């Protein structure tokens, strides 16, 4: 669902809806000065900051510790300089180096271990590490190099002033003085920290999010006529803006370097373990020979992990060792999910299930948005439109058909209106003191969907028990969920500050018009659809005329960042002196006030970015208690580093635009790097109206991303896939492919949960030495073997795509098994009529498939298997399939089946205790010559059971009925 920020033109800040202008429109320039409390002047300029000197060095074979002392008079640019720091450098593993710079007094906020558990303590000999920590003692600076590249190699991370451009540097973004670069010394103040490192000119940088980046998956580092990137780290409820901060916080980046001389490449990663509000700048100063990254934080410490890779996949795996490997997804979670805001009662919800089955479009999971609630309150169902007994019967009907149900849970809990208002989740929570407070100890009262609300305090000792009980009670009242959808958990509030304190609590309205209400119609359509000409149907044609014309999108929701948005006059908790570029302005706008107080004395300013993660941890624990031994299924909006251990993610409140279908790909790729691999976007778009053509193409593409859900907004036209015949046909085809590939998907996610390997990959993840792929994000790979080339523009029947491997890899069409005739290193034009998505198989692969995709995942699993082998030119191919019961946590008995082809032989191996009841029915081998005979386990196969197609070099063997619990050999001569 959405936060109020989606209503473009109605509510940027809550103040607009109330008829008053926000008070924070004037930019705070970095060169200005103003007076703090106590008449202490701040220069707002770091050019006079003295840096630090390293003293008291203690070295060991696994690292060093030392003091860092302020090297001159304090500059106090945005706060008070901290005179005494400690640096700890630890070689933790061969591939990981930990550099932690913190205040010696330990007064600055650091991530509690109860929220973010660091990797288990470990040390590794520095002499055999992949990485090397180098430093200058005065002025202190450090740089990280690869041990095998010698002292002359370009550092991976370099904070030396001599390596950076000369300062001062004029604002990188014209008109935004806060983007000036006044100096590069290490700054460590109580409310401002700054550290800068060089990057190679025009570096290949990926990560730093969550963001919808106009530059694509590869981040803009500036130069070449662009300003670079200001990535703000402040969780924000907003409908998928471009180049602004949004829901999640992930201060991890990967840099990929290619050596033009050797033709080799290496990747490395840099993770800042911090929840502090911050700006991370990627810029290239004019005429500079280097790009740079600069961290500007309004609190916390400088706690860095450097990981050596050297391949992109290894960087992701090594990051998983820091944040924790991703949660196990139940097998059914990979099915197709359906939702919308606007199913107004249980009958209408059930109607969608019936209509999907009548249309023959597989539906695995039915969802409800906040329509479900009574008075828009968490843990309720409306007694008239969603009565508990009818909901229980409906959910039991789903379960009887091997389908599932998921409801929404919003972050805010309704405040009790009066003593006769018996809303148990609030009453019990207030009794147990589980809600966030104001500094004076009173309840912090914000405003969300049910009116005035309170917010769970995850630091309070009773909150976990209260939260679990609320979910248990909800299930007992008829909402027998299979999983939970967590929304609004940045956390979001529609007003500024504790606005319900002393207010009239009976006012349960929200300060804006809901979409589709009189005065706020949903009128926007995809870029080339004009409803004023073609009407509101969204059809591809009206009266035989195409509805896709050459008109521009209104695009008001798709502007790039308006720089200088973060206006924060004042000081301390509510308005830190350095104003990060928060798209909403002051940090408390459309969020909890930064002086809201948590148990243990934590201020919201320090823990704001952790609220969603802590809710995910609590919900995961609750589901494990409610369903012991079963895998929790969760989808959440706001995430922080390590969230993948607990939840999956959807990409928020996107738009029904072709541009956002393209953004869908970069979002999925980002979250592979963030180690939250189970991710997807609202298919066909959430905000605005979709149309037939966009929904057709998007339903196809989403069949090849991990989380597959169609969801749209209240008041928009319906977009269930059965609404248009062409969309229904495309959906049936795409879902059939997806369900046949479920053993492959499940194996990829088993690898993610055990090894950290990303299931979905940018092309250069698999082909890291091909520079033409470094910016490709209009195609993607599922695992190492499936290449997906979706259509991302309207009114076309072809699509361009590049085929990696530079001619050394054979790519075969998924549908026809024909070899693609592609020129190496450049785009090839492919036929892509409406309803067709291009999918290609890489040579050297062996993919286990469900041979009879059925209506549900469970029915599909009960059918036989088939095997698709696409041999390389030398006759080799290899693949694995991981199998277990698909629901247990921790996973119980399991089996790994291997498929190894070489020169006319296929060896099938089997290891593990899980019993595979279904047999292997058929094998298709591509890239082989015509055989004279086929043998299985030494016995000849009847000629009627196999066939060879010469033009495709394709051998199909059927009727095998092979037991996958046993090793087997298939050979052909």
Residues with a known catalytic role? 487, 490, 653
Residue 787, Cα to own-chain centre: how many angstroms?
21
Helix boundaries (H) for 488-603: 531-534
Burial of 515 (0-12, 13-18, 19+ CB in 10 A): buried
- Torsions phi, psi for 169 (to 5 deg): -120, 130
Residue 756: both structure tokens together: 């950290």
C-alpha distances (whole Å) from 56 to each of 302, 485, 616, 728, 878 are: 20, 51, 42, 70, 55
Could you list the beta-strand ranges (E) of 165-228.
187-188, 193-200, 204-209
DSSP codes of every residue in 896-942: EEEEEE-SSEEEEEEEES----S-EEEEEEES-PPPS-EEETTEEPP
**Beta carbons of 149 and 648 less than 8 angstroms apart:** no
Residue 164, Cα to own-chain centre: how many angstroms?
32
User: Of 629, 786, 628, 822, nearest to 705 (Cα)?
Assistant: 786
- Torsions phi, psi for 257 (to 5 deg): -115, 135
User: Of 554, 520, 551, 526, nearest to 540 (Cα)?
Assistant: 526
C-alpha distances (whole Å) from 264 to each of 131, 157, 574, 767, 918 are: 18, 20, 49, 11, 44
- Using CA atoms, how far apart are residues 639 and 635, in angstroms rounded to an integer? 10
- Using CA atoms, how far apart are residues 299 and 283, in angstroms rounded to an integer? 22
User: Of 38, 106, 50, nearest to 81 (Cα)?
Assistant: 50
Quick one: how many helices (H) and strands (E) in the chain?
A: 15, 50
- Using CA atoms, how far apart are residues 686 and 708, in angstroms rounded to an integer? 13
161 secondary structure, DSSP code: G
Strand-pair partners of 146:
131
Strand-pair partners of 648:
635
H-helix or E-strand spanning residue 895: strand 895-901
């Amino acid at each position: 669902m959405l936060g109020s920020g989606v209503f473009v033109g109605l509510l940027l800040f809550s103040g607009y809806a109330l008829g008053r202008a926000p008070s924070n429109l004037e930019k705070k320039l970095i060169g200005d000065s103003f007076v703090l409390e106590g008449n202490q002047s701040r220069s707002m300029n770091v050019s006079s900051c003295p840096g630090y000197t390293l003293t008291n060095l203690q070295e060991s074979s696994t690292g060093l510790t030392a003091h860092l002392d302020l090297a001159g008079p304090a500059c106090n640019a945005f706060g008070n300089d901290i005179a005494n720091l400690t640096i700890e450098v630890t070689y933790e593993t061969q591939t990981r180096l930990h550099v932690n710079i913190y205040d010696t007094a330990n007064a600055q906020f650091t991530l509690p271990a109860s929220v973010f558990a660091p990797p288990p303590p470990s040390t590794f000999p520095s002499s055999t590490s992949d990485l090397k920590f180098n430093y200058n003692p005065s002025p202190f600076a450090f740089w990280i190099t690869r041990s095998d590249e010698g002292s002359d190699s370009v550092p991976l991370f370099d904070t030396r002033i001599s390596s950076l451009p000369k300062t001062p540097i004029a604002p990188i973004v014209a008109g935004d003085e806060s983007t000036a670069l006044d100096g590069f010394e290490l700054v460590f103040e109580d409310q401002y920290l700054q550290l800068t490192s060089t990057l190679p000119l025009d570096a290949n940088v990926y990560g730093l999010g969550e963001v919808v980046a106009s530059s694509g998956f590869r981040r803009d580092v500036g130069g070449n006529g662009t300003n670079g990137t200001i990535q703000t780290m402040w969780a924000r409820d907003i409908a998928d803006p471009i180049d602004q901060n949004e829901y999640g916080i992930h201060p991890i980046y990967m840099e990929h370097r290619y050596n033009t001389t050797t033709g080799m490449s290496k990747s490395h990663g840099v993770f800042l373990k911090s929840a502090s509000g911050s700006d991370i700048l990627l810029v290239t100063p004019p005429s500079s020979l280097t790009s740079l990254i600069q961290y500007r934080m309004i609190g916390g410490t400088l706690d860095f992990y450097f990981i050596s890779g050297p391949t992109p996949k290894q960087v992701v795996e090594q990051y998983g060792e820091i944040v924790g490997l991703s949660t196990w997804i139940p097998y059914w979670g990979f099915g197709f999910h359906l939702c919308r805001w606007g199913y107004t009662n249980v009958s209408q919800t059930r109607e969608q299930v019936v209509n999907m089955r009548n249309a023959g479009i597989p539906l695995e999971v039915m969802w409800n948005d906040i329509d479900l609630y009574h008075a828009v309150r968490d843990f309720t169902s409306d007694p008239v439109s969603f009565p508990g007994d009818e909901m229980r019967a409906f959910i039991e009907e789903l379960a009887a058909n091997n389908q599932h149900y998921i409801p929404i849970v919003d972050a805010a809990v309704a405040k009790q209106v009066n003593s006769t208002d018996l809303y148990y989740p609030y009453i019990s929570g207030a009794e147990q003191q589980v809600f966030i407070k104001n500094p004076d100890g009173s309840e912090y009262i914000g405003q969300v969907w049910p009116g005035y609300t309170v917010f769970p305090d995850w630091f309070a000792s009773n909150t976990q028990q209260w939260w679990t009980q609320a979910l248990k009670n909800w299930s007992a009242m008829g909402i027998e969920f299979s999983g939970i959808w967590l929304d609004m958990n940045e956390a979001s509030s529609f007003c500024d500050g504790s606005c319900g304190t002393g207010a009239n609590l009976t006012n349960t309205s929200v300060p804006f018009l809901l979409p589709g209400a009189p005065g706020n119609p949903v009128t926007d359509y995809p870029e080339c659809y004009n409803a004023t000409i073609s009407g509101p149907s969204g059809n591809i044609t009206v009266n035989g005329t195409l509805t896709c014309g050459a008109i521009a999108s209104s695009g008001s929701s798709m502007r790039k960042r308006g720089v200088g948005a973060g206006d924060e006059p004042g000081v301390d908790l509510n308005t830190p002196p350095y104003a990060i570029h928060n798209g909403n302005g002051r940090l408390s706008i459309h969020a909890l006030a930064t002086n809201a107080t948590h148990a243990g004395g934590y201020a919201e300013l320090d823990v704001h970015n952790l609220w969603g993660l802590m809710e995910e941890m609590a919900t995961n624990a609750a589901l494990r208690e409610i369903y012991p031994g079963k895998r929790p299924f969760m989808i959440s909006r706001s995430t922080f580093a390590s969230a993948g251990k607990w939840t999956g993610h959807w990409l928020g409140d996107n738009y029904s635009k072709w541009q956002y279908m393209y953004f869908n790909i970069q979002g999925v790729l980002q979250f592979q790097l963030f180690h939250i691999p189970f991710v997807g976007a609202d298919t066909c778009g959430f905000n605005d109206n979709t149309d037939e053509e966009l929904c057709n193409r998007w339903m196809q593409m989403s069949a090849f991303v991990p989380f597959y859900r169609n969801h749209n907004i209240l008041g928009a036209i319906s977009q269930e896939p059965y609404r248009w015949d062409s969309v229904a046909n495309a959906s049936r085809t795409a879902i059939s492919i997806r369900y046949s590939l479920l053993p492959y998907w499940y194996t990829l996610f088993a690898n993610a949960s055990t090894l950290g390997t990303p299931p979905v990959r940018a092309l250069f993840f698999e082909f890291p030495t091909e520079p033409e792929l470094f910016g490709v994000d209009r195609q993607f790979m599922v695992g190492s073997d499936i290449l997906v080339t979706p259509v991302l523009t309207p009114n076309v029947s072809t699509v361009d795509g590049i085929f990696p491997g530079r001619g050394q890899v054979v790519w075969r069409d998924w549908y026809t098994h024909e070899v693609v005739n592609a020129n190496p290193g450049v785009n090839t034009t492919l036929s892509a009529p409406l309803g067709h998505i291009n999918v290609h198989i890489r040579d050297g692969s062996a993919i286990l498939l469900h041979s009879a995709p059925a209506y549900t995942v469970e029915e599909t699993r009960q059918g036989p298997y088939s095997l698709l082998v696409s041999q390389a030119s030398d006759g080799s191919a290899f693949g694995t399939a991981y199998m277990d019961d698909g629901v247990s946590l921790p996973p119980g008995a399991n089996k790994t089946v291997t498929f190894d082809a070489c020169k006319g032989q296929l060896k099938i191996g089997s290891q593990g205790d899980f019993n595979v009841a279904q047999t292997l029915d058929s094998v298709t081998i591509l890239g082989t010559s015509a055989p004279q005979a086929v043998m299985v386990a030494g016995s000849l196969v009847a000629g009627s059971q196999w066939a060879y197609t010469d033009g495709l070099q394709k051998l199909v063997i059927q009727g095998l009925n092979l037991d996958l619990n046993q090793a087997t050999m298939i050979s052909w001569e």
